Structure 1
Amino acid sequence: MTSDTDSSTALGLDRDTPAFYRRLGPGLYAPTVHVQGAWRDDEQHMAPVSGILAHELDLHEPREGMQLARISFDILGMIPARPSRVEVRTTRPGRTIELVEATMLVDDRAVVRAEAWRLAAHDSQAAAGVELAPIPGPDEMEPWSGTDTWEGGYIEGLEFRVDPERRPGRTRAWIRARNALVDGESCSPTADLVRLADTANGIAVRVSPREWMFPNVDLTVHLFREPARGWVGFDTSVTMGPTGLGITSTTLHDELGPVGRAEQILTVRQLPGG
């Protein structure tokens, strides 16, 4: 098997830039080895892709007092690890509620489409309440090497803490990235969280990825407040049905507590010889 180092070099992926992407121009990005996918070495992992789409949504017609409440991604096919362009447009303008769409294209082919609801901020402290359960902090969990289960440059660049009582299909974990989203740029705390959310499908695996494929074809993140920057917590369960479908369901956390939910639908297929 070709090593990650050899394959990324052959693909021309940048190993020196300490970020997921280098900006090449307005809406145009070069992926580095740190976005390399877990299923194929010539693809981008969906997690940093979702982060760059969230970043471009943040940059599109920003207005004071608007906040991202939901972002939903549809994965339209394999995402090649080549220069990627993001196009953004407002599809439903409004003073307090608006819908914005972003599409990533590689070689002029749409590979991921995102829709985001941005809602106006209001004082709702008197009605505030959270029914999502907290999880132990990262210092209370054990280090884990994601490369024991997965391959690819994206996984190599993450730091994990996991529940020692984790089991197949169910875990609690904390993740943070060692690399910035875009070289030389800052991103919002929301984009910082979104760029890790897709990792949920790889931390509570129910079956071995060496015997089964179970990639997600979508990702939806709902937030009820802006997250704090830092570790991202996952309280994740994986359900697989008998006809090739699965669901990965996650409560997302920052170090202040629960912050939202993420859902992914899976296509489950046994690998040849698995």
Structure 2
Amino acid sequence: MTDRWFAESEPQHRAFYRSLGNGRYESSPATAGPWSPKAQHAGPPSALLGRALERHAARQGFRIARITLELPRPVPVDDLQVEVRTVHSGGRTELVEGELTANGKPVMLARAWRVAASPADTPQLRPEAGPPPLPESQAPQAMTGAHMDGYIAAMEWRFEKGKSFDTPGPGMVWARQRIPLVADEPDTPLTRALTLADSSWAVAFELDHHQQFVINTDVTVSLHREPVGEWLCMRSSTAASPHGSGLALGQFDDAAGDCGRILQTLLVAER
């Protein structure tokens, strides 16, 4: 690790990451997930890869419409290296991919479709009802048995009255980042969505993750428009079958309404 830019005792840190140049980033303790202070929640590294894919050979009038992130192993709270490349580039679509490595090992993979933005006369189709209003400010959230001083504390969560991470799903929450993704750099609509998206199945805890081992192997985010504002609403539910697996489905809304979907495959196993 390089000279630290954060204090280990700080409850909040300046950002999830600091750029070290040449695609390398230092991770702050704010990236730590609920299961271990040594392993990152998948939200911040997902956003870090999404940020790199957005910037890679960017083309005017193109946007990332769908991104899938694969999680072959836990992402350590350590220095990370980001690499991206173009797989296919056409007149209206591009396929780009990226890899996140730690200590020389791949810890997250990403593939994204970057497409030409739709014309102004495209009909605005909103099959789903709008989200409930943003709840008033709430006390910091808790989660039984979780590490609370990393990612969970670095986000502001507002659940429906009387509900929390410990409430069985389906679930709904409004959330926003308390800190930026990368120090001294602005976030984008895509990175804000990706920072939150991996929390979808946790908002929809319908499988007992205390009695069974439950973890997602991937995250897919599809956005039919750019989310607006710092607050996002996530409404999530879970499907599961014996001798199968789990499937968490989430809907993203902002103050203007529906803007995308989240899909996660869940491994369900005996502890």
What is the TM-score when the length of structure 2 is the normalising length? 0.89
Change over 3 Å in CA distance of 1:270–1:184 after alignment to 2: same
Within-5 A mapping of 1:118-267: 118-139=114-135, 145-148=141-144, 150-152=146-148, 153-164=150-161, 168-243=168-243, 245-267=245-267
**Residues 166-221 of structure 1: per-residue CA shift (max 9 Å, x gap):** 65230111111111100011132121111111111211212444333211000000
**Residues 89-139 of structure 1: per-residue CA shift (max 9 Å, x gap):** 000112210001011001111111000101111315343211122220213
Unaligned runs of 5+ in 2: none
> Structure 1 residue 31: deviation in Å?
0.8
Unaligned runs of 5+ in 1: 1-8
* Residue in structure 1 matched with residue 103 of structure 2 by the alignment: 107
Report the identity percentage. Answer: 31
1:20–1:179 CA contact under 8 A, matched in 2: yes
2:24–2:82 CA contact under 8 A, matched in 1: yes
In structure 1, what is the Cα distance between the partners aligned to 2:162 and 2:240?
21
1:103–1:110 CA contact under 8 A, matched in 2: yes
* Residue in structure 1 matched with residue 62 of structure 2 by the alignment: 66
Between 1:160-169 and 1:123-132, the stretch displaced more is: 160-169
Between 1:60-69 and 1:36-45, the stretch displaced more is: 36-45
Within the candidate set 61, 72, 75, 1:76 is matched to 72
Between 1:76-85 and 1:156-165, the stretch displaced more is: 156-165
Within-5 A mapping of 1:26-37: 26-37=22-33
2:29–2:37 CA contact under 8 A, matched in 1: no
* Residue in structure 2 matched with residue 41 of structure 1 by the alignment: 37
In structure 1, what is the Cα distance between the partners aligned to 2:69 and 2:59?
23
What is the TM-score when the length of structure 1 is the normalising length? 0.88
Task: Tell me, yes or no, if structure 1 residue 86 matches structure 2 residue 87.
Answer: no
In structure 1, what is the Cα distance between the partners aligned to 2:25 and 2:179?
16
In structure 1, what is the Cα distance between the partners aligned to 2:259 and 2:155?
21
**Residues 10-39 of structure 1: per-residue CA shift (max 9 Å, x gap):** xx9684741100111121111101100222
Change over 3 Å in CA distance of 1:203–1:149 after alignment to 2: farther
In structure 2, what is the Cα distance between the partners aligned to 1:70 and 1:104?
18
Q: What RMSD, in angstroms, separates the aligned Cα atoms of the two structures?
A: 2.3
In structure 1, what is the Cα distance between the partners aligned to 2:253 and 2:202?
17
Change over 3 Å in CA distance of 1:112–1:126 after alignment to 2: closer
* Residue in structure 2 matched with residue 97 of structure 1 by the alignment: 93
Give the letter for the 1:155 counterpart: I
Between 1:204-213 and 1:50-59, the stretch displaced more is: 204-213
> In proportion to residue count, which structure has more helix?
1
In structure 1, what is the Cα distance between the partners aligned to 2:223 and 2:139?
27
In structure 2, what is the Cα distance between the partners aligned to 1:20 and 1:220?
21
1:147–1:155 CA contact under 8 A, matched in 2: no
In structure 1, what is the Cα distance between the partners aligned to 2:28 and 2:238?
30
Between 1:122-131 and 1:220-229, the stretch displaced more is: 122-131
In structure 1, what is the Cα distance between the partners aligned to 2:55 and 2:175?
25
